[in-house]
Amino acid sequence: MLKSLRENIALKFIALAISVMIWFYVSAERNPNPNITKMVAAEIVQIGTPPEDLILQIHPTSIQVTVTGPKDEVDTLSDNEIKADVSVSAITTQTNQLKVLRYIPPATAPNVAIQGRNTVNVDVVPEKRKTLRIIPTIALDTGLTNHYKPPLLTPQFADVVGSSDDVNRVKKLTIFIQTNSSSVSADLPIKALDSTGAEVSSVHIEPDTTHVDMDLLQTPASKSLVINVPITGQPAKGFVITSLSVSPQIVTVKGPSKLLESIMNISTIGVSVDGLNADTVVEVPLRIPSGLSVVGSVKQIKVMLDIRPVTSIQ
């Protein structure tokens, strides 16, 4: 008998394998969508509102569950599509666990069964609040001719809300202003920083934004200008002006760079030479264009006129 079993052993193994394959094929044809089991993460969802003076932190934020159901439904499930509802409306400082009320599958998997833990851990601490002034941090552009008015913040203060340890870590509230060589008018998020300048992300800021207005100005530029003296009238009959000199000959003015670009010289008020028959020295003020100012202590310009008889220069 053993001898007969050993005969054609290879063919017998092939026949067995084919039989198993046929059995699996027939089973699949009779049940094309069998039940399968899969592990996925369920997202914890808070139901209700906790007391205003308490802060809670549920950990972990998702839990592993076992899902069983039709293959075509289970295969579509991804992490956090299943929701685990927990009620937080009745927590106290003594609460350390929350009961999972129910597991809710997505609409794409209505026929699955879900098994998971009955409770999740929670830390509950009293809420602390403190008010701080918002100090702007400004990233200025590199242009040397631009500067800005001080930023105007609305509001100027905000509350830091969180656990006592987290709130105590916060030493500064700030906003980050990027100028980009233009005026700024925007609602910017408020950041809480510790003593090292690192952000404390575990607290809430109320309100979480402030409106910033910061106007761009032109820093006064400077330019040296030649002084021009307008002459009116005529010397006495038989006399002429042989030379005119001023002191100083050049003054420096400052003002917006665009305005200075169009100015080549600066004038005094007019000097009348009507009837003059001798050398004359007068002091006259400058005509300073609107928007400009003189650098230094120059108040008056000395104008020196050489006047000679016509016969002396022939």
Domains of the chain: 35-126 (2.170.120.30), 128-218 (2.170.120.40), 221-313 (2.170.120.40)
The phi, psi pair for 25, rounded to 5°, reads -65, -45
* Average pLDDT taken over every residue of the chain: 87
The phi, psi pair for 100, rounded to 5°, reads -80, 115
Examine residue 235 and say whether the peptide bond preceding it is cis (omega within 30 degrees of 0): no
Q: How far apart are CA 151 and CA 140, in angstroms?
A: 12
Q: Residues with Cβ < 8 Å from 286, sequence gap 6 or more?
A: 227, 251, 266, 267, 268, 269, 294, 298, 301
CA torsion through residues 251, 256, 257, 263, sign: negative
User: Is the pLDDT at 224 greater than 50, yes or no?
Assistant: yes
- Kindly state the average pLDDT of the residues 62-66: 94
Contact 230, 266 (CB under 8 A): no
What would the pLDDT profile of 99-139 be if each residue is shown by its tens digit? 999 999 999 999 999 999 999 999 998 989 999 999 999 88
Q: Tell me the residue type at 7.
A: E
The pLDDT assigned to 12 comes to 63
The pLDDT assigned to 144 comes to 43
pTM (2 decimals)? Answer: 0.49
Length of the chain equals 314
| Residue whose C-alpha is closest to residue 148's, from 159, 158, 140 | 140
Secondary structure class of 226 (helix, strand, coil): strand
The pLDDT assigned to 18 comes to 75
The pLDDT assigned to 195 comes to 93
The pLDDT assigned to 207 comes to 96
Residue 203: count other Cβ atoms within 10 Å of its Cβ.
21
Q: How far apart are CA 183 and CA 158, in angstroms?
A: 24
